[in-house]
Amino acid sequence: MRTPLVVGNWKMHLSRDEAGALAGEIRNKLDISPDQVGVAVCPPFPYLSAVHAVLAGGPVALGAQDGHWAPQGAYTGWVSMQMLVDVGCRYVIIGHSERRQFAQETDTDIGKKVKAGLGQGLAVILCVGETGPERDGGITYDVVMRQLSGALEGLSGAECDNLIIAYEPVWAIGTGKTATPAMAQEVHSFIRSWMEKRWGFGAAQKLIILYGGSVKPDNMRTLAAMHDIDGALVGGASLGAQGFLEIVRQADAGKR
């Protein structure tokens, strides 16, 4: 049985004080055991240390929104995976559609980041998903397969024990639109089947696959009830403790 995971992606929001206060409220009010649902938050880079100080020793893990593949070097504005580990991160999001779109990240770039993050012992949340025109064109599976193949090229199943996949249909991110549970389940099932062909049944069955795309308290339970949906990568709804914690509760309820 896979333990569900709910991850809050705070994107480029909040001040230092607001980030610390939100992290503290989530930690103090979380009433779900980590054995039931894993919980993590991913603040902006400048607040990682401050949020880590608030979360240290508690049930909520710290993650980052991106990381560079190089251990060090002349990469102005970037942050290495080692640096993320050094400030207490356990998770890192790689390949988010906003990075693909606005930073022009390629599947090759994302693959190097995935390898670097896994190599540092981070749990890598690899984001994949199609745009609206791609879904309308009937090529969702082709797009997802290309993204998975590019990001995981050269990696073995053993190297990917800490890999997590997040299916985020681009047309549903920040739009208020959400894939129906059945639509999301179809793609999650495809991802798990693809991983089974690549790395075998055991590796595919233990793989955590999250859904992301306008996740809210009122749709999390039905999403989590789907066999291959193991939780959520939450954007805007993670910026309020009450709503985020309700998503965590509904992720737990959906698996019962």
Annotated active-site positions, please?
96, 168
Q: What is the Cα 25 distance to its own chain's centre?
A: 21
Q: Is 234 helix (H, G, I), strand (E, B) or coil?
A: strand
Closest among 77, 56, 59 to 67, alpha carbons compared:
77
Residues in contact with 203: Cβ distance below 8 Å, sequence separation at least 6, in sequence order: 157, 160, 195, 196
Residues 207 and 181 sit within 8 Å (Cβ to Cβ): no
Q: What is the dihedral of CA 187, 140, 122, 207, to 10 degrees?
A: 20
Closest among 60, 3, 6, 64 to 28, alpha carbons compared:
60
CA–CA dist 215, 236 (Å, integer): 8
Closest among 203, 130, 201 to 164, alpha carbons compared:
203
**Residues pairing with 158 in the sheet:** none
